[in-house]
Amino acid sequence: SQQGEEDPQALSIQEGENATMNCSYKTSINNLQWYRQNSGRGLVHLILIRSNEREKHSGRLRVTLDTSKKSSSLLITASRAADTASYFCATGEGANNLFFGTGTRLTVIP
């Protein structure tokens, strides 16, 4: 499969703590993206990091990319109950398509 794989599959933390999710993939990529999905909703784009970038920030989100290890991490700092959702990495591996992993289910306990 060309999908990325997220780790862990599920994560439960207290509000205010940091949450770290990892993504590994198998092939060369153009970019790697992270999406969030709230229960019963569509996916929402969070951040895109290109293959020539190593780190990117957006608000409380920090994404790293290590192309030599074919891995990425998403850090959410100072988590909030509203961050409770599933998080997916998606690899851009061709002209138009993204390949999604199976997701990490994050629960932030108030």
User: Which residues of the chain form contacts with other proteins (CB under 8 A)?
Assistant: 3, 30-31, 33, 40-45, 48, 88, 90, 92-103
CB 14, min distance to other proteins, A: 27
- Indicate if the alpha-carbon torsion angle 84, 104, 24, 95 is positive or negative: negative
CB 37, min distance to other proteins, A: 9
- Indicate if the alpha-carbon torsion angle 8, 38, 101, 78 is positive or negative: negative
CB 61, min distance to other proteins, A: 15
Q: Under a CB-based contact definition with an 8 Å cutoff, are residues 22 and 107 in contact? A: no
Comparing CB distances to other proteins, the nearer of 88 and 106 is: 88
